[in-house]
């Protein structure tokens, strides 16, 4: 134990305490507003739907609390509890080569994390989502998804890990710069192949049928000056009744994807307005800017890891022997950074909410604010999203503005 241990434990207590406190505020706030639908939503949302949303949000938040506590315990087990050290001892017994030993350590960690997460994922799907009528997945489908995800993670993860460990061992003091280049290349590659090669392993994508909806969408695309290589409808209803629309890929592989659940619930005006919002994200460069941020932050973190990698206090402070394998430095860093950056979470959320407002304005300009309001209210209702989040909880975490503020802004745009 050293000063860094104390700092790390303090940060962990603060982050965990904050999470629990925000969750309890959120649940209490939702409970307090459970008995009446907020006035501005009263015409479209019944008390029954409002209460379902309140209960769904409360249950999910309480479940998140359990997850937070388990995560903190696991983190302590891995570090001070000596579990990572044990994994490393096993890996060293199996392999002589530094790279293979490191890859085995990361592999053991990945399998362990996946196993810890499994009961949570199972409970979320078959207890919570099922209880509120959202889940459509069978157990066979859940297991098949799991196996596919594991195969994909191995197929793409193992070569990436081997490349990173090789660079860390061979490239001297500037290894982090080389790793960053590989990381950026890998991310761009994954984004490029995702729509055509990975997403179809999980869902069916049918080209949108000819008809009035497709014509309207194409007219909107022309109006916004947007070119895509296809409009697709995805069988999201196979897994869940939650609806969505999104863009994937970039350049030549750029696609617009609608969940079938969205198409079946919204009318053509509303679908157009939702699409205009999504186009807004694209046209206002939100997507590119977010990517640039991600790459810049990962460069900063890799540089920081470059400094920590050979510092004995970093390992000793986390209960691990020094000198240690490069893979150990990577794992410790990935585990510890989120604890220290937790308090930056509100900034990330605020940045995202700013983009949401801008995309709403774009939709108001190119389509219709009033139709977007109608669509959002339907989606809030269908997804049982709470209309009354705790303001502080929302400010901390939410990527989208609270329903009432977002709708009020859109209504003022509609009035102009
Ligand atoms: Zn958005």
Nearest CA to 10 out of 336, 256, 415 is that of 336
Ion ligand 1: residues, CB < 5 A: 356, 359
Please state, in angstroms and as integers, the Cα–Cα distance from residue 297 to each residue in 24, 129, 292, 325, following that order. Answer: 31, 34, 9, 24
Distance in angstroms (rounded) separating the CA atoms of residues 26 and 273: 30
Place of tokens 């889940």: 135
The active-site residue, picked from 270, 272, 360, 371, is 360
Distance in angstroms (rounded) separating the CA atoms of residues 295 and 191: 14
Asked whether the beta carbons of 347 and 399 are under 8 A apart, the reply is no
Residues 248-269 as b/e (b if ≥16 CB within 10 A, e otherwise) read bbbeebbbbbbbbbbbebbeeb
User: Ligand 1 centre and the CA of 226: distance in Å?
Assistant: 17
User: Ligand 1 centre and the CA of 253: distance in Å?
Assistant: 21
User: Ligand 1 centre and the CA of 326: distance in Å?
Assistant: 39
- Confidence at residue 256, expressed as pLDDT on a 0 to 100 scale: 86
In tens, the pLDDT along 174-228 reads 999 999 999 999 999 998 888 889 999 999 999 999 999 999 999 999 999 888 7
Q: Chain centroid to CA 395: how far?
A: 17
- Is 260 known to be catalytic? no
User: Ligand 1 centre and the CA of 281: distance in Å?
Assistant: 7
- Is 360 known to be catalytic? yes
- Confidence at residue 399, expressed as pLDDT on a 0 to 100 scale: 94
The active-site residue, picked from 278, 356, 371, 390, is 278
- Confidence at residue 254, expressed as pLDDT on a 0 to 100 scale: 75
Q: Residues in the chain with pLDDT < 50?
A: none
User: Ligand 1 centre and the CA of 200: distance in Å?
Assistant: 24
Helix 268-283 to helix 212-224 angle (10° resolution) is 30
Residues sharing a CB contact under 8 Å with residue 177, sequence separation 6 or more, in sequence order: 302
User: Ligand 1 centre and the CA of 195: distance in Å?
Assistant: 19
């Amino acid at each position: 134990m050293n000063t860094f241990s104390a700092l790390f434990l303090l940060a962990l207590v603060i982050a965990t305490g904050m999470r629990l406190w925000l969750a309890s505020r959120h649940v209490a706030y939702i409970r307090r507003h459970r008995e009446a639908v907020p006035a501005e939503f009263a015409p479209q949302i019944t008390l029954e739907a409002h209460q379902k949303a309140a209960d769904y949000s409360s249950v999910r938040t309480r479940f998140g609390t359990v997850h937070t506590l388990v995560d903190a315990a696991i983190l302590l087990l891995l570090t001070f509890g000596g579990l990572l050290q044990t994994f490393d001892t096993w890996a060293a017994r199996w392999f002589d080569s530094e790279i293979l030993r490191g890859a085995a350590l990361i592999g053991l960690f990945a399998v362990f994390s996946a196993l810890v997460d499994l009961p949570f994922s199972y409970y979320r799907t078959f207890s919570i989502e099922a209880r509120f009528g959202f889940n459509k997945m069978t157990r066979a489908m859940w297991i098949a998804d799991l196996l596919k995800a594991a195969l994909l993670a191995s197929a793409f993860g193992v070569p990436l890990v081997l490349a990173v460990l090789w660079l860390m061992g061979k490239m001297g003091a500037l290894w982090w710069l080389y790793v960053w280049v590989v990381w950026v290349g890998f991310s761009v590659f994954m984004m490029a192949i995702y729509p055509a090669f990975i997403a179809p392993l999980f869902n069916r994508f049918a080209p949108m049928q000819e008809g009035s909806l497709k014509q309207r969408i194409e007219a909107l695309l022309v109006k916004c000056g947007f070119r895509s290589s296809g409009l697709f409808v995805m069988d999201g209803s196979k897994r869940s009744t939650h609806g969505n629309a999104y863009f994937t890929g970039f350049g030549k592989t750029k696609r617009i994807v609608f969940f079938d659940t969205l198409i079946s619930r919204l009318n053509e005006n509303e679908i157009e307005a939702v699409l205009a919002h999504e186009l807004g994200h694209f046209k206002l460069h939100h997507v590119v800017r977010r990517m640039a941020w991600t790459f810049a932050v990962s460069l900063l973190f890799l540089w920081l890891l470059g400094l920590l990698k050979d510092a004995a206090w970093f390992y000793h402070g986390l209960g691990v022997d020094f000198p240690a394998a490069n893979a150990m430095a990577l794992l410790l860093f990935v585990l510890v950074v989120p604890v220290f950056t937790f308090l930056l979470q509100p900034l990330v959320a605020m940045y995202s909410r700013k983009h949401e407002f801008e995309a709403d304005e774009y939709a108001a300009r190119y389509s219709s604010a009033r139709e977007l309001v109608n669509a959002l209210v339907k989606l809030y209702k269908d997804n049982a999203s709470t209309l009354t989040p705790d303001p502080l909880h929302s400010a901390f975490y939410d990527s989208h503005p609270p329903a009432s503020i977002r709708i009020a802004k859109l209504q003022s745009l509609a009035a102009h």
